[in-house]
Amino acid sequence: MKDKTDQIIKASINVFVKKGYISATTKEIADKAKVAEVTLYRKFGTKQNLFEESVKSITLNKFSSILDFNDEISTRDFFKQLLDNRLNVVSKNIKVVRMLISESLSGNLPTELRFTHVIFENVSYAIKRYFETKKINVDYQAYSKIIGGILLGYAILPNEKHYHSMNKLEKEEYLDKYLQIII
């Protein structure tokens, strides 16, 4: 049974990314998943439930990873690692990110599943943990908003090249521009 559920979620993500929540149909999703449409309703009840479960799957698998860091790392290197990690994730999943932003703005997602919320919480947690280990009192939410803004800007504004496709030097130059603002 789990395989069918995974199959349906994978197909729904594909259809929702292409068409968005409003335009996607359960018939299209069922066809893509190679299951009967009634199976979708039996497993998820409604299209909204399927959409929310699909988004949960995306956010848990792609955007909610714990950001690990070495306690001895400098503040600049911490932010560099943080930005590099999150930009790689956003860059590799740009179509999904754009769909999540669009659906968040359209009000089709509960707050805890909105892309901005997921990114902000994840980044805030890492920044708070870092500064707590250093025993430095900072407004970690302000830093989180700055980094969240950088990530959202990357996702919605045109980019000449995907971050994950850049070479090491290009990434260094890209990160340095933002690190000058953050530090």
Whether residues 75 and 24 share a domain: the answer is: no
Whether residues 94 and 166 share a domain: the answer is: yes
Whether residues 6 and 72 share a domain: the answer is: no
CA 180 to chain centre: 24
Q: Which one, of 85, 100, 83, lies nearest residue 146 by Cα? A: 83
Whether residues 98 and 136 share a domain: the answer is: yes
| pLDDT of res. 87 | 95
Domain containing 39: what range? 2-57
Whether residues 158 and 92 share a domain: the answer is: yes
Whether residues 95 and 69 share a domain: the answer is: yes
Q: Is 154 helix (H, G, I), strand (E, B) or coil?
A: helix
Whether residues 42 and 124 share a domain: the answer is: no
Whether residues 92 and 141 share a domain: the answer is: yes
Whether residues 95 and 149 share a domain: the answer is: yes
Element (H, E) at 64: none
**In this structure, what CATH number is given to the domain that contains residue 7?**
1.10.10.60
* pLDDT one-digit tens code per residue, 7-29: 999 999 999 999 999 999 999 99
Whether residues 50 and 107 share a domain: the answer is: no
> Within 10 Å of residue 6's Cβ, how many Cβ atoms?
12
Does the structure show a pLDDT above 70 at 1?
Answer: no
Provide the domain count of the chain: 2
Whether residues 68 and 39 share a domain: the answer is: no
**Residue where a domain terminates, one of 57, 72, 91:** 57
* pLDDT one-digit tens code per residue, 28-49: 999 999 999 999 999 999 999 9
Residue 123, token pair as written in the block: 């980044």
Whether residues 90 and 170 share a domain: the answer is: yes
Residue 45, token pair as written in the block: 């009840």
